[in-house]
Chains A and B, each alone.
Chain A
């Protein structure tokens, strides 16, 4: 339709025409001097997890700023290319292709949600580009999806759930009911709890699967009510958690039953309000409140507060920070910017960016790290950021992960 702008009917084409015209220009702005190390950062800036994603971006930009301020690598600065996945795997794959094919990024860090990280990984793996995922999933480290270029900065469901189980089951009882979002991530959570539970003789009285993203859980609750379990585990995430927690409370389940969740998101707790979460405990990869115990957390929080007018980083935000720093550190260590050599350097890396010592397990590149057990506050909160009590921190321990064999890796 290259002739259309010349034809009389120009007006109808403004939109399309403008778009086509604008696009290349716009992208050439984004293109930077060849020297820079480019890291693609695809995250769901729009959609249900946009709050988390925007925090991921803030933290990642902070990491880049610090690293560049420290002189980068032999004067080579880092540039962050943020793209919106819209929490849609197709869009995530397309954007990753754009980052690799057009923007020629050296590495990709990012993703939020199991599905998008797996589709990003499918693209990067095939093109041998290093990808450091900052979102939870057990699948990505399994041999089927894993590659030398696949790293996993975030916690995984098995580890998180296990830690919460180890803390909560002995305290609150052995008859456990699960309300689970019916997708891989949810199932992985349940498996994590049950594994850890077996050791201490916990027994599953029900595992009820609910559709992902359901708005109403009332239909699942009477049955749980009738079972009178000691512990109800909400194996879902974000808004599903807010809704199910809220409605479980309405059904008076909190009398006699302790409600726990594998992952308590800082942002969804802020959004959901204290009532919905009252007394609920769960795990998280990071809570700013642990700064009094962990020096690196203090350092990170202060930098973040300074950069963003006193705001504190969220759990997923912090992952953006760590995900970038690890890769950039590996660039220094490898003295190279090609994915293969940086990957090799990453395998060796021992680091403590924000939550205590971490390292990537050799066989599957899962970052071995601590898990924080927190409980939602509903009274005497100092300010709007003061939403959790830190109950415990389970230190990083390779034993808490599934074995390399189980993940399908032949032990190297």
Chain B
């Protein structure tokens, strides 16, 4: 961004100024960055993946980072979003936009069901119930081969062209594809930012801080949790739907619990409970994996080690640690 200042001001002051600016206009900042993002990436498909998984992680972070509920079942919402979007297009020939809508709605409904059952439990049991229910969703879709293609995955999702008023955009063109998906992610991020700044945003933080007190203050803890759960599910569903459009297939792995694990990793890597964290996490995780994979066959070991390193030394995550450092710098003055 505004690099020239750097020479005039001390790094700390510069960082602080920039940091305040970024925090104040966080949506604007992240969108501005994502606008130029493809240029930094080795290839567009990866950039699109980062958009999509960034959104997935943001949705997950709403529950994990801001409400303090660690779900191991979020793959269910990514998957349901993907599959329902795909099924609507492949089996019923729906318009992609409608299909995407269906994907989000279905993911939200899955969120209502799973959330309603899961929020009755707490701590590690919450994580395990979400895991178990998500696995059941996995097998349900695995079995419904006629609709989902089972293990083979759902194929034949095609969005050749997109009409925007008078113009038609070629969705097969990676750049176009990136910016079309960008629009949806942008909208979602704006929504999340508003949500966090809203009164309800305060409520969920209160619930995370102290359920007993939140209830004593007159807030219905269970209902608030459920509402966040569903919103989180909807966001992940949107990510899933976009992924179906992006890959033109829906792999069964998108429902697998390892996919849920990935959301946790991204969130933690970037910094849970921060607005940018999940995106940073997704970007670093996927880029790292991509690059390491091209460098060595032993990517799993390297990524695992890096991950442990972060858990041990940067528990606040990349962005989270940065936030802390800058704040300390601010207080130091």
A and B touch in the complex (CB under 8 A): yes
Binding site for B on A (CB under 8 A): 1-4, 6-9, 12-13, 15-16, 19-20, 22-24, 26-27, 30, 45-46, 50, 84, 86, 88-90, 93-94, 97-98, 101-102, 114-115, 118-119, 121-123, 126-127, 137, 139, 144-145, 183-185, 212
CA A90 to CA B289, docked complex, whole Å:
14
Q: Does B208 contact A (CB under 8 A)?
A: no
CA A121 to CA B156, docked complex, whole Å:
10
A202 CB to nearest chain B CB (Å): 26
Interface string of B26-47 (1 = CB under 8 A from A): 0000000100100011111110
Q: Does B306 contact A (CB under 8 A)?
A: yes
Q: Could you list some 27 contacts between A and B, CB below 8 A?
A: A1-B280, A2-B40, A7-B11, A7-B14, A7-B322, A8-B326, A15-B288, A19-B284, A22-B291, A23-B290, A26-B42, A26-B294, A27-B43, A89-B153, A89-B249, A89-B252, A93-B249, A97-B44, A98-B42, A98-B43, A118-B155, A119-B249, A126-B248, A127-B172, A137-B152, A145-B155, A145-B156
CA A226 to CA B275, docked complex, whole Å:
61
A164 CB to nearest chain B CB (Å): 22
Instruction: Name the residue among B18, B157, B288 with the largest chain A CB count within 10 angstroms.
Output: B288
Contact B152–A9 (Cβ < 8 Å): no
A161 CB to nearest chain B CB (Å): 18
Q: Does B197 contact A (CB under 8 A)?
A: no
Q: Does B209 contact A (CB under 8 A)?
A: no
Considering the complex, which residues of chain B in the window 1-57 have a beta carbon less than 8 Å from any beta carbon of chain A? Answer: 1, 3, 6, 11-12, 14-15, 18-19, 33, 36, 40-46, 49
Contact of A118 among B1, B243, B249, B284 (CB under 8 A): B249
B37 CB to nearest chain A CB (Å): 9
Q: Which of B106-114, B198-206, B295-303 contacts A (4 or more CB under 8 A)?
A: B295-303
CA A93 to CA B290, docked complex, whole Å:
14
B136 CB to nearest chain A CB (Å): 14
B236 CB to nearest chain A CB (Å): 15
CA A198 to CA B294, docked complex, whole Å:
49
Chain B residues positioned under 8 Å from A15 (CB to CB): 284, 288, 306, 318
Q: A16-B318, A24-B42, A102-B44 are in contact. List 5 more A-B contacts (CB 8 A).
A: A19-B284, A90-B249, A94-B46, A118-B249, A119-B155
A90 CB to nearest chain B CB (Å): 4
Considering the complex, which residues of chain B in the window 144-179 have a beta carbon less than 8 Å from any beta carbon of chain A? Answer: 145, 149-153, 155-158, 160, 172, 174
Known A9-B322, A98-B45; judge A46-B299 contact (CB<8 A).
yes
Contact of A2 among B33, B44, B294 (CB under 8 A): B33
Contact B293–A212 (Cβ < 8 Å): no
Considering the complex, which residues of chain B in the window 256-299 have a beta carbon less than 8 Å from any beta carbon of chain A? Answer: 276, 280, 283-284, 287-288, 290-291, 293-295, 297, 299
Q: Which residue of A lies closest to B2 (CB)?
A: A3
Contact B172–A12 (Cβ < 8 Å): no
Q: Does B94 contact A (CB under 8 A)?
A: no
Chain B residues positioned under 8 Å from A115 (CB to CB): 151-153, 251-252
Contact of B293 among A27, A84, A126 (CB under 8 A): A84
Known A7-B15, A16-B318; judge A114-B295 contact (CB<8 A).
no
Chain B residues positioned under 8 Å from A6 (CB to CB): 3, 6, 11, 14-15
Known A26-B295, A184-B145; judge A122-B156 contact (CB<8 A).
yes
Contact B145–A9 (Cβ < 8 Å): no
A272 CB to nearest chain B CB (Å): 22
Chain A residues positioned under 8 Å from B325 (CB to CB): 8-9
Chain A residues positioned under 8 Å from B85 (CB to CB): none
Count A/B pairs, Cβ under 8 Å: 168
Q: Does B321 contact A (CB under 8 A)?
A: yes
Contact B318–A23 (Cβ < 8 Å): no
Contact A97–B45 (Cβ < 8 Å): yes
Chain B residues positioned under 8 Å from A123 (CB to CB): 247-249
CA A101 to CA B55, docked complex, whole Å:
23
Q: Which residue of B lies closest to A101 (CB)?
A: B174
Report whether over half of chain A's contact residues are helix, strand or loop; otherwise say mixed. helix
Name the 6 nearest CB pairs between A and B, nearest first: A89-B251, A183-B151, A97-B45, A23-B42, A102-B43, A16-B284
CA A94 to CA B43, docked complex, whole Å:
10
Q: Does B215 contact A (CB under 8 A)?
A: no
Chain A residues positioned under 8 Å from B318 (CB to CB): 12-13, 15-16
Contact of A20 among B33, B40, B157 (CB under 8 A): B40
Chain B residues positioned under 8 Å from A30 (CB to CB): 294
Known A15-B306, A93-B247, A122-B248; judge A20-B287 contact (CB<8 A).
yes
A24 CB to nearest chain B CB (Å): 6
Q: Which residue of A lies closest to B314 (CB)?
A: A12
CA A48 to CA B252, docked complex, whole Å:
17
Q: Does B61 contact A (CB under 8 A)?
A: no
Chain A residues positioned under 8 Å from B155 (CB to CB): 118-119, 121-122, 144-145
Contact A101–B44 (Cβ < 8 Å): yes
CA A93 to CA B153, docked complex, whole Å:
12
Chain A residues positioned under 8 Å from B306 (CB to CB): 15
Contact B152–A183 (Cβ < 8 Å): yes
CA A4 to CA B326, docked complex, whole Å:
12
Contact B283–A94 (Cβ < 8 Å): no
CA A229 to CA B239, docked complex, whole Å:
50
Q: Which residue of A lies closest to B288 (CB)?
A: A19
Chain A residues positioned under 8 Å from B180 (CB to CB): none
Instruction: Name the residue among B40, B249, B280 with the largest chain A CB count within 10 angstroms.
Output: B249
A3 CB to nearest chain B CB (Å): 5
Contact A19–B322 (Cβ < 8 Å): no
CA A122 to CA B250, docked complex, whole Å:
10
Q: Which residue of B lies closest to A123 (CB)?
A: B248
Q: Does B130 contact A (CB under 8 A)?
A: no
CA A185 to CA B19, docked complex, whole Å:
54
CA A97 to CA B152, docked complex, whole Å:
19
Instruction: Name the residue among A4, A13, A115 with the largest chain B CB count within 10 angstroms.
Output: A115
Q: Does B329 contact A (CB under 8 A)?
A: yes
